[in-house]
Amino acid sequence: MPRLASVLLSASVVLLALPGCDSKTGGYAPSPAPVEPPAQDMSAAKDPKFRPIVEAILAQRKASKDLAAFRSSFGAGPMDEAGGKKYGELFAKVAAAGDRVGTLAAESNFEGEDKRVFELIASFTDAQLESLLK
């Protein structure tokens, strides 16, 4: 009998959570809002030593979006030969941009407070990153 109660309780929890999932999110719970870091952290992230890594992260994200947009233009179907070639080129750009971020992070060898700020920067949205460059 306790097992049956456990199963029923689990099922009711799932049913209560379903209204939070709608068709706009593909049936999944919506993503949480981006975290707004304290002004002190934003100020620290604007330090010129972080600028190259901010630019590299933005470039990597743009390359990834370009790749995703290109791939989605084919839908679920296969790509033709020209599409495959273009996809390979875009994929190589994403890889190169990722390598650039990794290289900059390794060369910078952030420690202590700088490492914490770098990790925070890596979690920023594109809009937050762009605000650091202004």
Q: Quick check: 39 and 48 in contact, CB under 8 A?
A: no
Q: What is the mean pLDDT of residues 112-124?
A: 94
Tokens encoding 104: 């900059």
The Cβ-side half-sphere exposure at 113, using a 13 Å CA radius, reads 7
Q: What is the mean pLDDT of residues 46-62?
A: 96
Tokens encoding 21: 């999932």
Does residue 20 carry a pLDDT above 70? no
Q: What is the pLDDT of residues 58-73, one digit of tens each?
A: 999 999 999 999 999 8
Query: What would the DSSP string read from start to end of 18-50?
Result: GGG--GGGTTSPPPPPPP---HHHHHHHTSGGG
**Tokens 């979006």 map to which residue?**
65
User: Could you give the 3-state DSSP secondary structure of residue 120?
Assistant: helix
